[in-house]
Amino acid sequence: MPSADAAFELLICKLERLTRLTDADRAALQELPSKIEIFAADQLLVREGDRPADCCLLLGGYACRYKMTEAGDRQIVSFHMAGDLLDIQHLMLERADHSIATVTQAEVCWVPAANVKALLQARPAINEALWRDALIDASIFREWVLNVGRRSATSRIAHMLCELATRREAAGLGAPEASDLPLTRQQIAQATGLSTVHVTRVLGDLSNQRVLTPPDCPIRIIDWERMCQVGEFNGLYLHAA
Amino acid sequence: MPSADAAFELLICKLERLTRLTDADRAALQELPSKIEIFAADQLLVREGDRPADCCLLLGGYACRYKMTEAGDRQIVSFHMAGDLLDIQHLMLERADHSIATVTQAEVCWVPAANVKALLQARPAINEALWRDALIDASIFREWVLNVGRRSATSRIAHMLCELATRREAAGLGAPEASDLPLTRQQIAQATGLSTVHVTRVLGDLSNQRVLTPPDCPIRIIDWERMCQVGEFNGLYLHAA
DNA sequence: CGTAGGTTTGACTGATCTCAAGTTTGGTGG
DNA sequence: CCACCAAACTTGAGATCAGTCAAACCTACG
């Protein structure tokens, strides 16, 4: 069970990658009330239409945001990993316009939204860090619109995997070519707007070309260069330092 | 030529739809330095990779943000209309991760980014209003990922047109069924991830079903109910009051 | 009046989807 | 430890939505 101290350590670490914090900022963060909880894979954290009262910090594992069509098809709109703030939007917007769920088993830290919101006014540096974080989030959504709208199935999948691996590295979770990406074909399909069957075929191709690990292993990028080429991946939109 | 006064009137109006402003807030906004400029259709306002020093407020006409694939295909990621702030993201992020261009002739008001950023610290209500604005932007991007990723060509186009008409109404530019939408088939194709040819066919169908104006007229929604059904449109994600 | 850009139409192509039947995997209880 | 089950994955065959190509048709504008 992760401790609250470790949680704020992670958060401070994340915010310091976005801006410079003072000791007072760090202290203010550490004094936030918090509640830690562990979820199994595929559990709902926030439901579309809710009015969440808590802000959710992901401590470990993976999560995603998604929306549904009327026909019941799921579109994943982003993936998240340790250190990510899953719902700054609910600080300022009444109702959740999308759902949030775990992808793998995950540890989560809940902080009352009102307390975080108070920090935005009281601590300019924290305001700035969270602004940056929210704007980078939006930049990633823009890239996803491009990815899903204009690229071939193969590029799309490659691009998405490159993004995840790059963000893992930026979050200090290991180099791209050393990161297992814990996604099922269904989840990849839901994130890229493809069918599960087609994802299977494309991943098979990428494995045959020795760009990805074989189909029966956890997904990992073997040939980073080639993968970036295939996915037209250029990480500038992630605005990492 | 629109005046600077009118420009700030528009901005204040927009921000007051997002939060309550004090007289001091309004005064601070009115004192911002500004420069007004008129652009023809299809002119670049911000180029991907730039480090914009000014923040851009759209006073009249339409604009869009877009990204390009390596093959040179353009994906429009959002449309904008009078009152929209086109690049709050450049207050906090160094380099533009996308380009911004006019769609029609447009009047634009430039405000130095540094001055706007100063207001975020000095005036909590303005900070909050711009936070809301940025988060709604992000919500729209999420909806676009769903739209482009999961819906049929017809739903996709219908949804996008419904969004535009709804936002026009929210911005005080006229009821949905009274709004001509000044988009070419190419622009619709670039926004929905479709080919121009296919957009022509789909718009033809929608006209035949008396949901849209005929092909030789400006695009306008005739049957709002039907159009919303076709596009699975539910405007909650726009977070308008 | 000639040119350019946008639009329309038809014929053909192809990437991706759907359906359906296996196969593997991981977890669970006997 | 094994048998069983559910869920995920794989594979093939056929269907379809949307793309490409190409030619003709507008319309605006110089």
Query: Which residue is the nearest neighbor of D12, CA to C1'?
Result: A197
Question: Span A20-36, mean pLDDT?
Answer: 95
Is a pLDDT exceeding 80 seen at residue A3? no
Using DSSP, state whether A214 is helix, strand or coil.
Answer: coil
CA of B219: nearest nucleotide by C1' is: C7
Q: What band does A2 get if pLDDT is binned at 50, 70 and 90?
A: low
Distance from the Cα of A220 to chain B's closest Cα (Å) equals: 24
- Residue A98 structure tokens: 């999308």
pLDDT at B206 over 70: yes
> Hey, which residues 150-169 in chain A have their CB within 8 Å of chain B?
150-151
The answer to pTM > 0.85 is yes
Q: What is the per-residue pLDDT across A119-148, written as a single tens digit (0 to 9) for each? A: 999 999 999 999 999 999 999 999 999 999
A137 touches chain B (CB under 8 A): yes
Is the separation of the CB atoms in A235 and A166 below 8 Å?
yes
Nearest Cα residue in chain A from B149? A193
**How big is chain A by its Cα radius of gyration, in Å?**
18
Backbone angles phi, psi at B113, to 5 degrees: -55, -40
Cβ pair A16, A7 in contact under 8 A: no
Whether B19 has a pLDDT exceeding 70, the answer reads yes
CA nearest neighbour of A110 among A36, A188, A18: A36
Q: Would you state the pLDDT for residue A241?
A: 63
The model's pLDDT over B56-87, given as tens digits with 9 standing for 90+, comes to: 999 999 999 999 999 999 999 999 999 999 98
Judging contacts by C-beta atoms under 8 Å, the chain A residues touching residue B91 are 131
Question: Is pLDDT above 90 for B202?
Answer: yes
As a whole number of angstroms, the distance between CA A216 and CA A159 comes to 21
Sheet holding A44-46, edge to edge: A44-46, A99-102, A63-68, A74-80
| Residue B228: φ, ψ to 5° | -65, -40
Q: Within an 8 Å CB–CB cutoff, is residue B47 touching chain A?
A: no
